[in-house]
Chains A and B, each alone.
Chain A
Amino acid sequence: MYYFVNTETEPTGATRRLRSDTYTDEQIIRLCQQGRQEGFSQLLQTYQDRVYRRAYSFLRNREDALDATQDVFLRVLNAVGHFRAGEPIWPWLRKITTNTCLNKMRAAGGRPPTVPLEEARDNPHPRGGRGDPQREAELAWDRRRLAEALAQLPPLQRMVVVLRHEEQLTYDEIARVTRLPLGTVKTHLFRARQRLRRLLHGEVGA
């Protein structure tokens, strides 16, 4: 069977990636393990943006998220030979992304987070409101406030919230991925949600 890499070279010299969803996770891993370039290319095409977005939701910083994405795939490059073909790739990548971001958070120490929020303004809310400018503006405002509130959380609390609500992991799964005790996960989650509610609803003690 032959696979073709969907790439085009742009005038700038950078290779533009084209989407093709014809590869399964198993095919991608097998091609990578055979040392085939198109396997790794397909892995990047399928998961690079997803890893970036997850890293961004943990770190809330564009440059840090790009660094983390690079680190994640460099680790994947060396470890893909040991990955069992047939298993889904995303949980593995999510774990590497989480660990890489945890390391970055620890290395950053007490550095205050930066909050680029331009993206929150222009995106329509999934709850609807299309065609109703007033409603769209309200929803965008809500999202912006939520993003600001998330950025104010301590990094570990934010990570636990993202894993619970965006990734829909159970408490046990979060404990496994972050290598934190279950009780610590529950405490982080409780405090994070409590603080978010207070920040968003203006309760005293926020």
Chain B
Amino acid sequence: MKTTGCPGEDVLQMWAEGTLEANEYAAAAEHVSACAACQTVIAQYKQLMWDLQHPAPVPVPEEQAELYDALMAAWRRRGSEEKDRAARSGAPRRLVPAWAGYSVMWTGHLPAVRLLRHALLRARTPERPESLGPRETPVRRAVRRLLRRRGGG
């Protein structure tokens, strides 16, 4: 029989569970050690928690085998649907993801990359023979055409 000085049942539950805070434990300890009713409740909760932790094993029904087959069929169906979808779309498989291509493209604007590209182009271009005279640039070509039209060229 619980008395008026007994701690609440929530405290006794947590005591049995071992989750009581240190100060709550200290506050209840003196009373519990002297109270048979509280000790009985704690013992019952400990027994209950032990039993809950060790439930009777649930037998597996026979339908589990059929469910396994049904789920495997669902997996195969899903796989074939995905293949069909890919075949219908007809899109070629990308070798390089789009973001990788774009990021490579944007590097062309970096000054270091531009200088390197110019240097490579210059190295690849064969030397112009001196006999051909200076290289005709677009500006020079435009001036030459203008002079020719005026009859001075």
Contact at A37–B72, with CB atoms within 8 Å?
Answer: yes
Classify the interface of chain B: helix, strand, loop or mixed.
Answer: helix
Count, chain A residues at interface, CB 8 A:
46
Contact A41 B44 (CB under 8 A): no
Contact B61 A37 (CB under 8 A): no
Q: Which residues of B contact A70 (CB under 8 A)?
A: 67, 70-71
> Contacts of B70 on A, CB cut-off 8 Å?
70
Contact assessment for B52 and A17 in the assembled complex, using a CB-CB cutoff below 8 Å: no
- Given known pairs A40-B72, A127-B54, the reply for A35 and B79 (CB within 8 Å) is yes
| Residues of B1-50 contacting chain A, CB below 8 A | 9-10, 13, 41, 44-45, 48-49
Known A-B contacts A165-B52, A166-B53, A194-B13; the reply to A41 vs B72 at CB < 8 A is yes
Cα separation A78 to B59 with both chains bound (whole Å): 28
**Which of B41, B59, B65, B71 is in CB contact (< 8 Å) with A73?**
B71
Evaluate contact between B71 and A143: CB separation under 8 angstroms: no
Cβ-defined contact, A196 with B48, below 8 A = yes
A-side contacts of B68, CB under 8 Å: 15, 17, 44-45, 48
Report the interface size for chain B: residues with CB under 8 A from the other chain.
Answer: 35
- Known contacts: A15-B72, A49-B60. The answer to whether A143 contacts B48 by CB under 8 A is no
Q: Are A161 and B64 in contact (CB under 8 A)?
A: no
**Chain A facing B: main interface SS:** helix
A62 to B67, CA, bound (A): 13
B136 cross-chain contacts in A, Cβ below 8 A: none
Interface residues of B in 52-107 (CB under 8 A from A): 52-61, 63-72, 74-76, 78-79, 82
The residue in chain B whose Cβ has the minimal distance to the Cβ of A12 is B65
Could you tell me the distance between the alpha carbons of A16 and B79 in the complex, rounded to whole angstroms?
22
Q: Which 3 A/B pairs are nearest by Cβ-Cβ distance?
A: A165-B52, A53-B58, A126-B54
* Residues in A lying within 8 Å of B, measured CB to CB: 14-17, 35, 37, 40-41, 44-45, 48-49, 52-53, 56-57, 62, 66, 69-70, 73-74, 77-78, 119-120, 123, 125-127, 142-143, 146-147, 161-162, 165-166, 168, 190, 193-194, 196-197, 200-201
Q: Which residues of B contact A (CB under 8 A)?
A: 9-10, 13, 41, 44-45, 48-49, 51-61, 63-72, 74-76, 78-79, 82
- Given contacts A48-B71, A52-B64, A146-B51, list 6 more A-B pairs with CB under 8 A: A15-B68, A66-B67, A69-B64, A126-B54, A146-B55, A165-B52
